[in-house]
Amino acid sequence: MHGDLPPCSFGEFIHPNSHWNIEDLSKVFTDDAIQHVIGIKCPDNPATPDSCIWRWTPTHDFNLKSACFQLMGNAWDPKLPIWMVVWRMRIPQGLRVFIWLSIRGKLMMNHERCKRLFSDQTACPLCASGAESILHVLRDCPCIRHLWEMMVPTSTLGSFFSMNLSEWFHWNSTSHFPFVESDFPWNILFSSNSCHVWKNRSDWVFNSSNLSDRELLQKSLTWARFYSNNSSSNAITPLLKKIQWKGPDVGCYCLNVDGATSVNTGISSIGGLIRDKDGNWLLGFSKGIGTVNAFQAELWAIFTGMTLAWSNGFEIIQIQSDCAPAISLLQSPDTISSSLSLSFKQLLISVVVAGLWIFSGPQEKGINLPIH
């Protein structure tokens, strides 16, 4: 703001024609703040009292999830690409959890125990040649290194044994080089073998049982083949569907709308057009709407398009929008009482007062608004 805000309400910054008075706003607010103000629909009655809304959700309704994110979001771990790779792998959930625990450093090897003051011995009990870290147990221990050398192509051995823990899991989870004895993806065999290497180490520690490299490899191959076959049988085939414009029902006009928001600045714009059943252009609009989120931009586009339709006497409008949440909101019986109606109440009240009714139209993600 430019200095202290004098005692006033936002109703005093509205033109008689129900538009924001940018000139008066600029005397009090910065340009950035003005973009947020004009992104809110002017109330019909300037005497409407100001009210607070929750800015951190698209619908302006308070919830604990958004509050926690605003308070603690900066302290959370970054969303690294490795996590998306892990959780999308076509392997059993138990293997995904094992990989996640490994990358997070949560497997209790001697090195991890010493870090937590559970032990004062970091040495590997099998080879006694280094600290028993997670990477040492799964890859670098001489007792297991030969197994990987049997499986990994010679041309990639240098890279395979030089990466840190996170890089190693990420690289192997996204690699597809074949293993000569397998007919399934490498990342499945890698996941299976890593888990069985760890289990074999646990069996040696607690049960004095230890498989040979060849036995361990065959066990990993057997389970990897089972995982692969099971994954293939349960795979969901993607449904490909052509997306194209379809004309409205006979006697209807089609309103196509869209909104866009800049990721960097938050500045939004909307556009739309009205066409007849043959696709002929009748009316259109495009405009900037200030700083709003993408969801609110879609609602602005619907509101502006409907206003244009009403003012030009179109009787039945079929709205087509690719924003399913916006369509769901307009179809919800709780919309009028929601906090979002503070910004878009004119649209919702107009629908009710004019006796309009909303129903699911034949167009995907569309609604029909007959205007009486």
- For residues 34 and 147, give the distance between their C-alpha atoms in angstroms, rounded to a whole number: 65
Phi, psi of 157 (to 5 degrees): -60, -40
pLDDT of the residue at 366? 46
Confidence of residue 351 (pLDDT cuts 50, 70, 90): very low
Phi, psi of 344 (to 5 degrees): -125, 30
Confidence of residue 236 (pLDDT cuts 50, 70, 90): low
Report the run of H or E that residue 232 belongs to, with start and end: helix 213-233
Residues 6+ apart with CB under 8 A from 99: 86, 89, 169, 173, 191, 194
Query: What tokens were used for 303?
Result: 């509101």
Q: Tell me, rounded to whole angstroms, the distance of Cα 297 from its chain centroid.
A: 18
Torsion of CA 216, 219, 223, 225, to 10 degrees: 100
Tell whether the model's pLDDT for residue 35 goes beyond 90: no
Tell whether the model's pLDDT for residue 303 goes beyond 60: yes
| Closest to 153 in 3D by CA, of 165, 141, 161, 164 | 161
Residue located via tokens 């538009």: 19
More confident residue, 255 or 76: 255
Q: What is the DSSP letter of 334?
A: T
pLDDT of the residue at 234? 56
Which amino acid, residue 353? V
CATH topology of domain 253-370: Nucleotidyltransferase; domain 5 (3.30.420)
More confident residue, 154 or 339: 154
Confidence of residue 270 (pLDDT cuts 50, 70, 90): very high
More confident residue, 237 or 155: 155
More confident residue, 245 or 257: 257
- For residues 330 and 324, give the distance between their C-alpha atoms in angstroms, rounded to a whole number: 10
Count H helices, E strands: the chain? 15, 6
Give CATH 3.30.420.10 domain extents, the chain. Answer: 253-370
More confident residue, 351 or 20: 20
